[in-house]
Amino acid sequence: MDPITATIQKTEEALGHSPHPAIVMLPLGAWATSNICDILGLLTGDRRYDDAARISMAIGLVGAAGAVLTGVRDYGYIPPDRQPNHDVATTHGLGNAVVGTLMVSSYLLREHDHEVGRRPGLLARLLALTGGSLALYTAWLGGKLVEEYGEAVHPVMERWQEQEEQGEHETEPHGDAHGRERLSPESPLGLHRE
């Protein structure tokens, strides 16, 4: 096993789930910060916002590398015949490839402008705002994969079955690994108002 895969697997074991949802927060947060700084830079003319936008974008690109590695790994666990999960995951991945391309393009334009002493051009800002907007959609798709379709989640039933095979449990599973009650789409749900 290569060191990257081993590290991802150890992280997954420690978290109890894929590290991908945690890692994606870095590029999403950094790129949102970059977009906000871009807008503030345009409104105020303050070059410090331009620098903050460029640096935040670079941080997001570094974080995106980890998101790509863990996302591709998770994608490999979704067979093509598991629908609509596979199609949603494919759209999520391809959309993020577009986001990454937009952000890299914006960063390269910004870096060039910075080196020659210019403020970022309108194209660099528009690429970043487009990428940031698309990232919101692809993040929503990722959330749908986990929350609605249960991808990259270790179901309690699987853990319970493993425990049963090893003779380590006495009762039915009632919650997740932390004892929280878990509902599935098939679970009856009643609301009580006092």
Domain with residue 37: its CATH number is: 1.20.120
Residue 3 lies in a domain: no
Give a yes or no: residue 155 inside a domain.
no
Total of domains in the chain: 1
The per-residue pLDDT string of the chain (194 residues; one tens digit each, 9 = 90 and over) reads: 788 778 878 877 777 778 898 999 999 999 999 999 999 999 999 999 999 999 999 999 999 999 999 999 889 889 999 999 999 999 999 999 999 999 999 999 999 999 999 999 999 999 999 999 999 999 999 999 988 888 876 655 555 566 667 776 545 544 444 444 545 555 554 444 44
Per residue, the 3-state secondary structure of 132-173, as one string, reads HHHHHHHHHHHHHHHHCCCCCECCHHHHHHHHHHHCCCCCCC
Query: Does residue 169 sit within a domain?
Result: no
Is 123 among the domain residues?
yes
Domain that holds residue 125: 8-147
Give strand pairing partners of 175.
181
